[in-house]
């Protein structure tokens, strides 16, 4: 995993320099907002100094964890992970799992049972009926043709079926 991360880090460092790829992406880069002025730089440097100073103050090399000694309440709070794992496990066990079981039941009854198997049964019945119509005898086909002609003639004459 380290090699792909190194490659991505190197590419991200050089990705911002337009001298490498010229003006190929000028249309897209013109849409990207750029921070201008000295206040942005000063605020960024200030945040960097405060973060580095805090890390140096809390995480000096020592035999024991200095953060736990200097602020035990914060360490206890962070060690509890704000009970996010417990809340997530409760959500999965009580809510998500029950909803999944309900949806599975509804899918088995309605979708797989009524719709899919029901439509398959209807198609099977239509197939049986169509197979019964194809007898291979010319006289049967002539009768079906004549029935169709009479129905078409009746429809054209204005009969209401």
Tell me the C-alpha distance between 52 and 4, whole Å.
Answer: 27
Among candidate residues 47, 45, 69, 46, the one with its CA nearest the CA of residue 57: 69
What is residue 81's predicted lDDT score, i.e. its pLDDT? 83
Q: What is the pLDDT along the chain (161 residues), one digit of tens a residue?
A: 899 999 998 888 777 666 777 778 788 878 877 777 778 888 889 999 999 998 888 777 777 766 677 777 877 787 788 888 889 999 999 999 999 999 999 998 888 888 888 899 999 999 998 888 888 899 989 999 999 999 999 999 998 86
Answer for the pair 59, 66: CB distance below 8 angstroms, yes or no: yes
Q: Residue 17 phi/psi, 5° resolution? A: -90, 110
Q: How far is residue 15's CA from residue 21's CA, in Å, rounded to a whole number? A: 9
Collapsing DSSP to helix, strand or coil, 67 comes out as: helix
pLDDT at 16: 66
- End-to-end Cα, the chain, rounded Å: 75
Q: Domain ranges in the chain?
A: 37-79, 83-157
What's the pLDDT at 14?
75
Look at residue 18 in the predicted model and tell me its pLDDT.
67
- Provide the pLDDT for residue 49: 96
- For residue 144, what are the contacts with CB-CB under 8 A and spacing of at least 6? 133
């Amino acid at each position: 995993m380290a090699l792909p991360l190194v490659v991505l880090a190197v590419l991200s460092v050089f990705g911002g320099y337009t001298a490498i790829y010229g003006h190929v992406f000028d249309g897209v880069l013109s849409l990207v907002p750029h921070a201008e002025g000295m206040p942005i730089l000063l605020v960024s440097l200030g945040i960097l100094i405060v973060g580095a100073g805090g890390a140096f103050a809390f995480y000096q090399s020592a035999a024991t964890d200095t953060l736990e000694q200097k602020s035990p309440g914060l360490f206890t709070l962070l060690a509890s992970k704000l009970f996010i794992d417990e809340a997530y496990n409760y959500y999965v066990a009580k809510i998500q799992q029950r909803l999944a079981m309900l949806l599975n039941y509804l899918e088995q009854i309605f979708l797989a049972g009524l719709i899919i198997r029901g439509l398959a049964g209807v198609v099977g019945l239509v197939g049986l009926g169509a197979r019964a119509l194809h007898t291979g005898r010319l006289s049967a086909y002539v009768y079906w043709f004549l029935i169709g002609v009479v129905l078409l003639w009746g429809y054209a004459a204005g009969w209401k079926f």
